[in-house]
Amino acid sequence: MDDMKNWSQQQRSLLTFFWSFFVLGISVTSAAEDIPQPVQVVLQTYCTDCHSEDYAEGNLRLDGNNVDWSVPDSLVEWEKVLTMVSKRIMPPPEGTALTPQDRELLLSWLDQKLSQNSPVGGTPLRRLNRREYRNSIASLFDLEDFELPNSFPRDNIQHGFDNQGDALVISPSHFEAFAETAAVVAYAFFAPPRPIVPSRQYEVAAGDLTISYSSACYIDGAMRLASSGKNTRRHATWPSRFVAPQRGTYRVQVTASSTEGCEKTPILRIEAMRDFRDTLKEFHEFELGHSERSTVEFDIQLDRGESLFFRYPNGPLNYDDKNIYQKFLADLFQEDRQLAAAWAEVGTPARGGSGWQRVREVLESAEMSGEPLTIEDAEVEKVIQKMARNAVGSGETLVYRFFEQGPYVAIHHVSITGALNPQTDREDEQRERRRMKLMGEFDGQTDRQSLEAFFTSFLRKAFRRPVSPAEAQEFVEITLNEHARSGSLRNGLHLAVRMALISPSFLYRSIGTGELDDYELASRLSYFLTAGPPDEQLMKKAETHVLRQREVLLSEAERLIDRRFASDFPKQWLGLSAIESLMPDNRLIRNFTKQHRGAMMEEVTETFWWVLDNNLPVKDLIAPDFVFTSELVAKEIYQLDEFADVASKKSKKNESTLTRVTVPRLSNKGGLLCMPAVMMATANGVDTQPVLRGVWVLENILGSPPPDPPNAVPALTPDTRGANSPKERLAAHMQEASCASCHREIDPLGFVLENFDPVGRWRTSYPVYTETGGKVRTTNGLEVDASGTLPDGSPLSNVSDLKEWLIENPKPFTQCLSEKLLTYATGRSLSYRERTLVGEIIDQQEGEDVRLKTLLLELIDSPIFRTK
Amino acid sequence: MTTKSTPSLQRRHFLKAAGASLTLPLLESVPRSNQLVASEQNSGDELRVSSTAPAKNLVCVGSNLGLYRPAIYPEQTGRDYEMTPLLEELAAHRNDFTLFSGLDHRAGNGHKNWDNYLCGKNVGDMTLDQVVAEQVGRSTRFESIQLCAGDIPQQRMVYTRTGVPLPMINRPSVIYSKLFSTEDDRARSEYLLRSGRSSLDLVREEAKRLKQTVSQTDQTKLDEYFTSLRELELRMGRQLDHLASGTIEVDYELPPYDPVAPTLMLECEQIMFDLMALALQTNSTRVLTLFIAGLGQVFTLDGSTLRAGYHALSHHGNDPDLVRDLIRVEREHMKCLSRFISQLKEKTDQEGRPLLDSTIVMFGTGMGDSSRHSNRDLPTIIAGGGFRHGQHVSVDPSDEKSPLLGELYVTLLNQLGIETGTFSNASGEFREWTT
């Protein structure tokens, strides 16, 4: 009952709130405020030549004598004026230069007015983004492995983030995807019973077995297998036209043979598997050992959708494992030097059977000529090395020798009968279990009261707020109507659950206005820190109306802060998504693997988490005395001496764990400005682009993004012929006054990072590539000149100088990070007043340094976070 | 002194002049970037569709590994070219198709860029087929259908206006039951559609109630919800109308299994082509795409098993054996295409004209040379659609002034009655061909 009362109160107060604004809206319509005379004079002196009724350059007019500050666009426009003037982009060089006094007059008036008049709060209705939607469904239905289909639409990015209210649109494709996903999820719990497929016999001729890559070969009416190895697609064969249509026992007859006189008696193995998943349930093995056909019979359990996979598990040729393969080749060539010689003569035979045919031709012609091929031991070793390096390629060719000469196993015919004792599909069993878990004690109850109780609790979780009895009642009606219509309660529940999942109350958050109520606050906190809905504990705090108390809010926040946040937030803040798709030039780095990529991204997460979890000073993100790195990255990217001897091929287990390595604080290693992930994401994989990196520093470190380039300016395409450095090339920016106004701030910051190549490795000169006869040689070209300047004019000679400046002047970075955190949290860019508030929060921090966790908690407790 | 309000956009002035109550509450932020809110349904206003266009349907086939250019390009251009190994398979239709060589989008290279085949310069821009589907799709049950022969690839072939990649269907049984559902399936689809529709009705009521309680800008935001809901409802309605009108009888028997095993890709390809012809014949859709995959399949052709997988063949490095087998596989694609063209000649539309006359069939690729992963010079075949065919049209791919593939797309759009002058980075029709 309490809930109900609270709910209706809430609705009422929302309405009152809304109406008050509506009325207020009318009353302030003519509330334009005069611009003070001295400011008008300044505007007329410097601005109105271009920004008046006649020209309105950039669609902006500054020739009025009053401002209506209640119009949101006014705030946007005047803030732009403030930015352009404070960055000295306006007035333009050809205009009258502002005197320091006039500048001060204009800026302080703007600062005052914008602080007074810009709002706190204002996030629009926000739909769940892809991640949040996925996590919400997983949590609501307790489906940990739930995955959205690949085709599920991606979100638009705004302000660098995927969770911004304005950008999260619902297009028809989105809606269709939501509706389809809802149906799929509802199906996972409530589906009509499936009819049983009657038993029958399936005949599989040898030719109907699948050849995948070089996994099998059809010779003399049988399908031969000659390699062993785990990879199903490369080493197994399976019926191309049969999958079990029904769960149950199948009786299988396999007619097979093998090569005779093998060292190890060949084994034929038959596995029950779904698709190509290498998870195995049941298998049967048979020793063959003779060339006569024999037929074996066995029963095997198959689930619907599973099939039979045939393998030769003790086949001596296994090119999945390089070490085994290398040793195998050594033995093979010991025994058959002719083969090694023929292979060497062909060089690199083409992959597959035609490559083998070439090798065989060489062998045969040597035999015919009566002059055996010869080969030196050292050459044999080279052939082995080369084949092992490209194990899959050479293995797919070499396997044909074994298809032809053995040892192999050959499958002549397969006959499958079933399902002999049809059973409920595993999927259906699972569905029953899931449904029982979801419905709990209400499972199987069809009375109105039980359904009401179920929906009251289900919808509370789905909508992240208590629901009124009327709302729950509506879902009960739907269920019962559908039950009556179709005769199935499951159909009724199916429909109701689908409806809940496309309801605006599930899809949207940030509903309402003004200060967030307890439930909205719970959602904001939870989606901010975990990208998922509030858990039960948090919901309880909202229910008992204590969440808005500072201590409760902060202790809940502390509870929810975890690694996931450290992985989600920095990736978007720093714009690192490009790393997934960038493929660095292989002249720059050979064998760039997903282990490199993974470790680079992990370093960002680990660093952020270390600083956050230990509540270290924010400046440790800039100039820490450590890096987190994998051995691979430490060796190849950081080029740390202590890792120089690490073998390049380590087991995968070691590669994914990062170690914390100590580095000097102001060195060229450590911190966001020296991280390989950042340096890679701000280049293009081939060469560095100082402009991009300069913009990146302004945007993400200094929090002072340059304005968009004016429309009229074409993209600068520098003439790259001649051996000039990027710096010389970009000098063109400085000659064009309209470019220079912004680029004098951007470019010098980018140059400071020029010591980092496109994968983030330190360099002191640019590489020059010369190609002769298909081979590329890299030599040192021009020296890197990493000197630059800060926006305030302070000279920098390299990245260490920049780091030093940032820790001596910590405010801009701290402010920037705070604004990014709040943008990510609230789903909108901060208003002028909110940014001022952030500044005040930072200034109020006690102690010498601002610490990351403390800062984060203070931001969460701020009115910015607490307002819609 | 006159009173002027400043600064603000003209739009605001208009609002103020129009009434007293339009000033927005203080706490709202106004969406600033309209392009983010671009929705899929209202865009139809930008383009005009002529009802008397020569072509009605568009079929785009994309081969992942392309076609081996030396085996398809004749030396001669114009009408009197000599047949090449791949074109031989299409000899019966010589006057019903045109081969283009040298066209591409002048876009970047690499694996990922296969996807710009139908996008133009940038991967993710609305694809040619979707431009058409937006204009003509609502007149049929399915706005468009996306198919795939072989394993579902990493590649994307079709993107909507908002950059959403559409999924492909690679099981013939799935598309078959979608198009020509049996009694059993019908009951089930009808249930899903009906219940789906009633759930839409119900949430609409809920959304309406919600709309009463939120602010003005949030109401605008919520309008997206209503519009999308309406659009989905229409889609479901078209499906239901079809179900109500009874099952379409087609004389076509699917194999009892789905040919999804790697070895059976060519079998799958042929079935997909057949189903596309049936879909056009039954007026189920006017826009179809088919992706031909290119992974590790080993094929058996004319009783003999090829000695390497299709993908391995494509990285032939000019090895003559591999090239020979590669051409054999590609001839199979051409056979499928030829059979498809024949079917479109035999089958007729509702006015009794051969389907080919009103159907543009494009066979192309996002990869010019799969051996080197080059995206330059994409071999492209256009058949049907009421064009004058019979030529080999060649442009110089190394000349920056050469026509772009996008110009050909503009020509196709105009032929379909969609009056436009541009596509991606191309402007104007491909005049070298049509004039």
**Residue type for position B359:** T
Q: What band does A9 get if pLDDT is binned at 50, 70 and 90?
A: very low
Is B191 in Cβ contact with A350 (below 8 Å)? Answer: no
Q: What band does A277 get if pLDDT is binned at 50, 70 and 90?
A: low
Smallest CA–CA distance, residue B375 to chain A, in Å, is 16
Which H or E element spans position B282? none
d(CA B28, CA A72): 8
**Residue type for position B161:** R
The third-level CATH classification (topology) of the domain covering B43-180+257-434 is Alkaline Phosphatase, subunit A (3.40.720)
Is B25 in Cβ contact with A21 (below 8 Å)? Answer: yes
Specify whether the CB–CB gap between B291 and B365 falls below 8 A.
no
Chain B CB contacts of A121 under 8 Å are: 27
Chain B CB contacts of A868 under 8 Å are: 27
Say whether the peptide bond before residue A226 is cis (omega within 30 degrees of 0): no
Angle between helices A852-860 and A832-844 (to 10 degrees): 130
Q: What band does A268 get if pLDDT is binned at 50, 70 and 90?
A: very high
pLDDT score at A169: 83
Helix (H, G, I), strand (E, B) or coil at A233: helix
d(CA A409, CA A388): 25
Establish if B201 touches chain A: CB-CB under 8 angstroms: no
Helix (H, G, I), strand (E, B) or coil at A588: coil
Q: How far is CA A114 from CA A24, A81, A119, in A?
A: 20, 11, 9
pLDDT score at A576: 93
pTM value > 0.80: no
Mean pLDDT, range B93-109, rounded to an integer = 90
Specify whether the CB–CB gap between A229 and A235 falls below 8 A.
yes
Smallest CA–CA distance, residue B282 to chain A, in Å, is 25
**Residue B43 predicted with pLDDT over 50:** no
What integer best gives the mean pLDDT of chain A? 88
Is A72 in Cβ contact with B24 (below 8 Å)? Answer: yes
Q: How far is CA B2 from CA A41, A65, B7, B17, B19, in A?
A: 16, 9, 15, 16, 21
Chain B CB contacts of A67 under 8 Å are: 5-7
pLDDT score at A200: 94
Is A828 in Cβ contact with B300 (below 8 Å)? Answer: no
Q: What band does B253 get if pLDDT is binned at 50, 70 and 90?
A: confident
B385-430 tens-digit pLDDT? 999 999 999 999 888 788 999 999 999 999 999 999 999 989 899 9
Interior CA angle at A212 toward A207 and A218, to 5°?
30
**Residue A138 predicted with pLDDT over 90:** yes
pLDDT score at A199: 95
Q: Tell which B residues from 154 to 193 touch A, by Cβ distance under 8 Å.
A: 160, 162-167, 188, 191-192
Is A26 in Cβ contact with B214 (below 8 Å)? Answer: no
Chain B CB contacts of A241 under 8 Å are: 255-257, 259, 261, 264
Partners of A317 in the β-ladder: A227
pLDDT score at B301: 82
Specify whether the CB–CB gap between A702 and A87 falls below 8 A.
no
**Nearest by Cα to A298 from A417, A400, A149:** A417
> Percentage of chain A with pLDDT > 70?
91
Q: What band does B5 get if pLDDT is binned at 50, 70 and 90?
A: very low
**Residue A14 predicted with pLDDT over 50:** no
Establish if B254 touches chain A: CB-CB under 8 angstroms: no
d(CA A378, CA A23): 92
**Nearest by Cα to A273 from A225, A314, A312, A310:** A310
Specify whether the CB–CB gap between B387 and B100 falls below 8 A.
no
Q: Give the nearest chain B residue to A400 (CA atoms).
A: B307
- The structure tokens listed for A675 are 């991280």
pLDDT score at B182: 65
Domain boundaries, chain B: 43-180+257-434, 181-247
Smallest CA–CA distance, residue B174 to chain A, in Å, is 15
Establish if B148 touches chain A: CB-CB under 8 angstroms: no
A216-235 tens-digit pLDDT? 999 999 999 999 988 888 99
Domain boundaries, chain A: 1-30, 33-117, 200-316+414-418, 326-396, 575-697+706-800, 812-866
Q: Tell which A residues from 326 to 385 touch B, by Cβ distance under 8 Å.
A: 350-358
The larger pLDDT score, comparing residue A55 to residue A375, is at: A375
Mean pLDDT, range B328-348, rounded to an integer = 96
- The structure tokens listed for A49 are 């030549």
Which H or E element spans position A723? none
The larger pLDDT score, comparing residue B27 to residue A692, is at: A692
**Residue B24 predicted with pLDDT over 60:** no
CA torsion, points A323, A328, A331, A337, in degrees to nearest 10? -110
Is A166 in Cβ contact with B29 (below 8 Å)? Answer: yes
Lowest mean pLDDT among A749-763, B21-35, B165-179, B284-298: B21-35
Is B1 in Cβ contact with A65 (below 8 Å)? Answer: yes
Establish if B20 touches chain A: CB-CB under 8 angstroms: yes
- The structure tokens listed for A420 are 């002999």
Smallest CA–CA distance, residue A661 to chain B, in Å, is 36
Establish if B78 touches chain A: CB-CB under 8 angstroms: no
**Residue A97 predicted with pLDDT over 90:** no
**Residue B159 predicted with pLDDT over 70:** yes
Specify whether the CB–CB gap between A166 and A119 falls below 8 A.
no
What integer best gives the mean pLDDT of chain B? 82
- The structure tokens listed for A620 are 């440790």
Query: What sign for the dihedral angle of Cα B212, B217, B222, B223?
Result: positive
Is A211 in Cβ contact with B164 (below 8 Å)? Answer: no
Mean pLDDT, range A244-273, rounded to an integer = 93
Q: Tell which A residues from 482 to 511 touch B, by Cβ distance under 8 Å.
A: 482, 486, 491, 494-495, 498-499, 502-505, 507-508, 511
Mean pLDDT, range A168-197, rounded to an integer = 87
Mean pLDDT, range B5-20, rounded to an integer = 33
> CB-hemisphere CA count at 13 Å for B95?
1
Tokens 């997903």 correspond to A594
Smallest CA–CA distance, residue B29 to chain A, in Å, is 5
Specify whether the CB–CB gap between A820 and A700 falls below 8 A.
yes
The larger pLDDT score, comparing residue A51 to residue A442, is at: A51
Residues 6+ apart with CB under 8 A from B125: B116, B119, B159, B163, B424
pLDDT score at A386: 94
Count interface pairs A-B at CB distance under 8 A. Answer: 294
Q: Is A257 left (phi over 0), alpha (psi -120 to 50) or beta?
A: beta
Mean pLDDT, range A585-608, rounded to an integer = 89
Mean pLDDT, range A469-476, rounded to an integer = 94
**Nearest by Cα to A682 from A588, A609, A750, A730:** A750
The larger pLDDT score, comparing residue A710 to residue A282, is at: A282
pLDDT score at B183: 64
The larger pLDDT score, comparing residue B5 to residue A598, is at: A598
**How would CATH label the architecture of A200-316+414-418?**
Sandwich (2.60)
Burial of B431 (0-12, 13-18, 19+ CB in 10 A): exposed
Burial of B253 (0-12, 13-18, 19+ CB in 10 A): exposed
Q: What is the Cα Rg of chain A in Å? A: 35
**Residue type for position A782:** L
- The structure tokens listed for A615 are 């509540």
d(CA A782, CA A763): 11
**Residue A501 predicted with pLDDT over 70:** yes
pLDDT score at A411: 97
Specify whether the CB–CB gap between B360 and B55 falls below 8 A.
yes
Altogether, the residues listed in chain B come to a count of 435
d(CA B120, CA B366): 10
Interior CA angle at B323 toward B320 and B325, to 5°?
110
Mean pLDDT, range B227-238, rounded to an integer = 86
d(CA A223, CA B67): 30
pLDDT score at A5: 40
Chain B CB contacts of A198 under 8 Å are: none
**Residue B107 predicted with pLDDT over 80:** no
pLDDT score at B287: 97
Please give the distance of CA A568 from its chain centroid, rounded to a whole number. Answer: 8
pLDDT score at B108: 65
Q: Give the nearest chain B residue to A20 (CA atoms).
A: B25
> Quick one: three-class SS letters along A457-509?
HHHHHHHCCCCCHHHHHHHHHHHHHHHHHHCCHHHHHHHHHHHHHHCHHHHEE
CA torsion, points A738, A741, A746, A751, in degrees to nearest 10? 80
pLDDT score at A29: 46
A27-47 tens-digit pLDDT? 444 578 899 999 999 998 999
d(CA B276, CA A593): 41
Q: What band does B23 get if pLDDT is binned at 50, 70 and 90?
A: very low
